[in-house]
Structure formats: C-alpha cells, structure tokens
Amino acid sequence: LEAEESNSNGFQHSQAKKADSVRQTKLKAVKDEDDDVENLLREEEEYEEKTDLSADTMGALKWKEDLTQKAAEAFLRQQRSTPNLRKLVYGTAVEDEDHESDNADDELGGLFRVSRPDKESKQKANALDCSKFLIEKPQDWDLEEVMSSIRDCFVTGKWEDDK
C-alpha cells in the first residue's frame, strides 16, 4: 500500500508540474510584459501547494479529478483578482490628462487648422457631470431565477448560521 501511495505521490507531482507549466505558458502568453506576472505565479504556486497538502492529509485521491478544470479555474480567478481592479482605477489616470496633439500636419497653408471631430477621450472630458450610476443592461425581474439572485438580501430570506 505504501508503495502505491508513494507512486501516486510521484504521479501527483508530475501531474501538478505539468499543469503548472501549462498554466505558466498560458499566463506568459496572455500578459507578456505585465509586472504582476511574477506575483501571480508565486500566488499560483502557493495555491497549488495548499491543495497538495490537503490531498496528502486526507489520503483520498480526489485531487486527481478534473485537474485541468481546476487549473483553468485558478487561472481565471487570478485573472479577475484584485491587482487588475486597482490597476483599472489608478493605472490609466495619467493618459487622460494633457493629451494634446497640436500636430503640425493638421495645418493647411500654415494658416488654417483642420478641426477634427472630437475623439472619444475628448468627449469624455466634456461629458455630462453626473454621479448617478446608470444601469446599462437591466435584468428581467419577472423571471424567477433573477428574483432569487437577491432573495437572501432581505430579512425574509435565509440567514447565515452565526446570526
């Protein structure tokens, strides 16, 4: 039995490594020059180790089930995670300001300037100043499943165990 277990352990590691390497290449392909890649990868490895541990301690072979799917999920989770949101908010701020392009080639005969229609960024700069957060795609609240998506936000819904 012990031999079998060690065998399975070895197998597990090779599998995990394979999945890991696949993921790494995937990651590299997606965000090449992203400075967060290293960070992501480190977290990724930690995550992998944790699952390994739990599999060992439990003694079950559950970890082997749909490894690729787990890998895909982990990848997606990392894609959606925090650094991206922070970058979305703070990363692009510099580009918006002072994007003046008084190009010389816009001039006709050195006297007149071609006035191009406003670009999207310029329109945003002069857009309506309003704090309301409009809903772009309203959901169909007559549907039962849409309604159930907020069911537990009310006192009439299900409560957590600790309350």
Partner 1 sequence: MAGEAQSLGYTGCNFLRQRLVLATLSGRPLKIRKIRAKEEDPGLRDFEASFIRLIDKVTNGSRIEINQTGTTLYYQPGLLYGGSLEHDCSPSRGIGYYLESLLCLAPFMKHPLKIVLRGVTNDQVDPSVDVLKATALPLLKKFGIDGESLEIKINRRGMPPKGGGEILFACPVRKVLQPIQFTDPGKIKRIRGTAYLVTRDSVNLTDSENCKIVDESKAQKCRYSVRVSPQMANRMVESARGILNKFLPDIYIYTDHMKGASSGKSPGFGMCLTAETINGTVLSAELASNPQGQGAAVLPEELGQNCAKLLLEEIYRGGCVDSTNQSLALLLMTLGQRDVSKVLLGPLSPYTIEFLRHLRSFFQIMFKIETKTPEEEHMGGEKVLMTCVGIGFSNLSKTIR
Which whole-number Å values give the CA distances from 141 to 27, 92, 151, in the listed order? 38, 35, 12
Could you say which residues in the range 65-94 bind partner 1, by CB under 8 A? 80-82, 85-86, 88-90, 93
CB of 157 vs partner 1, minimal distance in Å: 6
Assess 127 for contact with partner 1 (CB under 8 A): yes
Which one of 2, 4, 105, 160 is in contact with partner 1 (CB under 8 A)? 160
Task: Report the distance separating Cα 52 and Cα 46, nearest Å.
Answer: 10
* 89 to 118: interface string for partner 1, x by CB under 8 A: xx--x---xx----------------x--x
Q: Which two tokens stand for residue 20?
A: 């890991």
CB of 126 vs partner 1, minimal distance in Å: 5
Name residue 112's beta-bridge partners: 108
Helix (H, G, I), strand (E, B) or coil at 91: coil
Count of residues touching partner 1 (by CB under 8 A): 42
Task: Report the distance separating Cα 126 and Cα 105, nearest Å.
Answer: 25
Of 78, 124, 127, 122, which Cα lies nearest the Cα of 101? 122
CB of 117 vs partner 1, minimal distance in Å: 9
User: In the complex, which residues of this chain contact partner 1 (CB under 8 A)?
Assistant: 80-82, 85-86, 88-90, 93, 97-98, 115, 118, 122, 124-133, 135, 138-139, 141, 147-160
